[in-house]
């Protein structure tokens, strides 16, 4: 019974329990009043524990709200960053965008022995290989179109497909715009493999392979990461 009235009535020292002065006073209450007092103090103590749990839950809720707020901020910053990168790319001329594409391919471990010089290129802008000698398939023939805010039509895809005339050839079409659904279908149904990369995928790939680039290539489209506290979840 005394233990219910908490440790103001009992003290433990070296394994022995001792009655405190408060405990001695409680003995004078008599059994009925002592039980009532102990019960009252118990419910006070229990209420305090409930309030503590509420505070803990509120704190945990605040932490989760803070995480959601941070995630929303990160999403907003990421969206703003992508918008800024797009605007930067849009300001490039056609040959500068072509250089960006070649830099990305090098970061992806391809060799780029041929990058079309200024002038007529016959529809072929870059040739990329897995090895320096070009002895390993596939040989990637790249068509680059710097047409921001423009949708690439299927005829452009068919023009690239016409250049894939050797065994081991693969087509890659990269644009600073987007592809029509018909252009995507044309690439899917091609007898030779043709990959399409629009501006959004180009930016994602640039971000992914940016650490692999030389300083010279990084300077073509420099990025600066921002770090925030994360979680182990």
C-alpha dihedral sign at 40, 42, 43, 45 = positive
Residue 159 neighbours by CB under 8 Å, 6+ apart: 123, 143
Of 164, 121, 120, 158, the C-alpha closest to 141 is 164
Regarding whether 191 and 134 lie in a shared domain, the answer is yes
- C-alpha to C-alpha distance for 100 and 214, rounded to whole angstroms: 12
Regarding whether 171 and 107 lie in a shared domain, the answer is yes
Regarding whether 114 and 25 lie in a shared domain, the answer is no
pLDDT at 163: 92
Regarding whether 83 and 9 lie in a shared domain, the answer is yes
**Digitized pLDDT (tens) for each residue of the chain, 233 residues in all:** 434 344 455 555 666 655 566 666 665 666 656 556 666 666 676 667 767 766 666 555 666 666 676 666 667 777 888 899 999 999 999 999 999 999 999 999 999 999 999 876 567 899 999 988 888 888 999 999 999 989 999 999 999 999 998 888 999 999 999 999 999 999 999 989 999 999 999 999 999 999 999 999 999 999 988 766 666 66
**Domain range for residue 165?**
94-218
Regarding whether 148 and 103 lie in a shared domain, the answer is yes
- C-alpha to C-alpha distance for 157 and 173, rounded to whole angstroms: 7
pLDDT at 167: 82
Determine if the pTM surpasses 0.75: no
Regarding whether 143 and 63 lie in a shared domain, the answer is no
Of 153, 145, 161, 156, the C-alpha closest to 182 is 153
- C-alpha to C-alpha distance for 173 and 153, rounded to whole angstroms: 12
């Amino acid at each position: 019974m005394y233990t219910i009235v908490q440790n103001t009535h009992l003290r433990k020292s070296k394994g022995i329990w001792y009655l405190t002065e408060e405990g001695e006073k409680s003995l004078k209450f008599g059994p009925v009043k002592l039980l009532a007092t102990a019960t009252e103090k118990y419910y006070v103590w229990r209420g305090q524990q409930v309030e503590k749990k509420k505070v803990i839950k509120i704190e945990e809720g605040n932490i989760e709200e803070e995480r959601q707020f941070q995630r929303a901020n990160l999403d907003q910053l990421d969206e703003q960053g992508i918008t800024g990168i797009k605007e930067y790319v849009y300001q490039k001329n056609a040959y500068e965008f072509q250089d960006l594409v070649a830099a990305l391919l090098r970061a992806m471990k391809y060799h780029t022995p041929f990058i079309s010089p200024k002038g007529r290129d016959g529809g072929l802008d870059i040739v990329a290989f897995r090895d320096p000698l070009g002895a390993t398939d596939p040989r990637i023939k790249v068509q680059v179109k710097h047409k921001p805010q423009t949708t690439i039509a299927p005829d452009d895809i068919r023009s690239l497909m016409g250049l894939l005339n050797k065994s081991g050839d693969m087509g890659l079409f990269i644009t600073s715009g987007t592809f029509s659904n018909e252009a995507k279908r044309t690439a899917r149904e091609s007898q030779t493999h043709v990959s399409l990369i629009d501006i959004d995928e180009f930016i994602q790939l640039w971000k992914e392979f940016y650490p692999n680039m030389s300083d010279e290539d990084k300077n073509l489209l420099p990025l600066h990461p921002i770090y925030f506290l994360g979680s182990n979840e």
